[in-house]
Amino acid sequence: MISKHPRTEVSKTKQLVLDFPKLDENLEPLLPTPAIEDVSTTLSRWEYWPERQMCVVGEAGAGKTRILRKWAEDTGAAYVTGLDLGRADIDEVSNLSLKALVVDNADLCENGASLLAAMNLCKNRGAFLLFSGSTDPSSWNMSPLDLQSRLSALPVVKIASLDEKTFKIRLVSACKSRFMKLPEASADYLTLRLGRSYTVIDQIVEKLEQVADGKALNKKTAGKALKALEQQFDTD
Question: Of 102, 136, 158, which closes a domain?
Answer: 158
**Which pLDDT belongs to residue 46?**
97
Q: Does residue 122 lie in a domain region?
A: yes
Residue 6 domain-assigned? no
Longest dimension (CA), the chain: 60
Does residue 89 share a domain with residue 200?
no
- CB-based contact 71:99 (threshold 8 Å): no
Is 17 contained in some domain? no
Report the pLDDT value the prediction gives residue 10, as an integer from 0 to 100. 39
Same domain, 55 and 147: yes
> What is the 8-class DSSP label of residue 48?
G
Domains in the chain: how many in total?
A: 2
Which of 122, 140, 158 is the last residue before a domain boundary? 158
Domain boundary among 123, 158, 193: 158
Which residues are 79's β-sheet partners?
Answer: 19, 102
* Residues 42 and 90 both lie in one domain: yes
Residues 175 and 208 sit within 8 Å (Cβ to Cβ): yes
* Integer Cα distance of 231 and 196 in angstroms: 18
Q: Classify residue 19: in a domain, yes or no.
A: no
Q: Looking at residue 88, what DSSP letter applies?
A: B
Give this prediction's pTM: 0.79
Let me know whether 61 and 133 are in one domain: yes
Taking only the tens of pLDDT, the chain with its 236 residues reads 223 333 434 345 566 767 776 655 555 556 678 888 999 999 999 999 999 999 999 998 888 998 999 999 999 999 999 999 999 988 888 888 899 999 999 999 999 999 999 999 999 999 999 999 999 999 999 999 999 999 999 999 999 888 899 899 999 989 998 999 999 999 999 999 999 888 999 999 999 999 998 889 999 999 999 999 998 877 65
53 and 150 in a single domain? The answer is yes
Quick check: is 10 in a domain? no
One domain, residues 171 and 87: no
- Confirm whether 189 is domain-assigned: yes
Q: Domain range holding 105?
A: 34-158
The answer as to whether 219 is a domain residue is yes
Which of 140, 142, 138, 193 shows the shortest CA–CA distance to 171?
193
For 110, counting Cβ atoms within 10 Å of its Cβ (0-12 exposed, 13-18 middle, 19+ buried), the class is: middle
